[in-house]
Amino acid sequence: MVRKVRRLLAAVTGALIATACSLTLAATAHAAAPKPAPAGVDITGDRLGQPLRLRADTRPTEVAAVVDQVSWLGRTGRQRGPEAKNLGPKYTVVVLAGGRPTRTYDLYPLAKGGPRVYRPAKQPDLSKTPAGWFFGRLNMSETLRSVGVPLERQFDTVSGGVGGGERVIPEDSLNPVQDIDDAMGELQRLLLLNVGVVLVITTGLAGIALLIRRRTR
């Protein structure tokens, strides 16, 4: 009888340990699953030896500032822009969502008559967008300079500017607090699962001990 009880105890304990290990491994794998790439912008242009890559998870303020320069353009722009000699240095901004390029714009912060934005008809996300020229925000030069573009400081710019229209990055993609909340939620779920595993093992062992006491009386 004692041998049977011992074999039963070993079998039940092994099953409990195997179940606990499986649950822990599943939780760890879920917690370690790769998250989608963050939103961001890539900037290339005059005197930039390599692309300036900004991502919302590490530089959210800078990404939001650059996106603000192009996110409110109207549906239809001017068909013709200033003459090439009046445009000044050109900077191409590529907006990314989930690690993939979605929109592209050419920015001319020092154009005569005020900053200009050109939106090409051909966009990375293959959407049908009419090409057009737009007046840019008056703080375009200072915004680009503040994120690392080699431009001289402009003292006559003011906050804000003209524009109005489309949103090019979902608002929640630029929210670093949400990423922190997600991470804390994953940690909490993992801790609760571990507590549950411990309770299952403890309950199982208590039940086995009670069974042994009854069988050995």
DSSP 128-162: ----EEEEPBTTHHHHHHHTT------TT--S-BS
pTM: 0.60
Spans of the chain, pLDDT less than 70? 1-34, 156-200, 204, 207, 209-217
CA-to-CA distance for 58 and 36, rounded, in angstroms? 14
CA pair distance 89, 31, nearest whole angstrom: 46
Instruction: In whole angstroms, give the CA distance from residue 40 to residue 170.
Output: 11
For residue 72, the SS3 value is coil
* C-alpha separations of 195 from 32, 184, 187, 189, 200 in Å: 19, 16, 12, 10, 9
Q: According to the model, what pLDDT value does residue 98 have?
A: 87
Structural contact between residues 46 and 90, judged by C-beta atoms closer than 8 angstroms: yes
Alpha-carbon gap, residue 30 to 180, rounded angstroms: 17
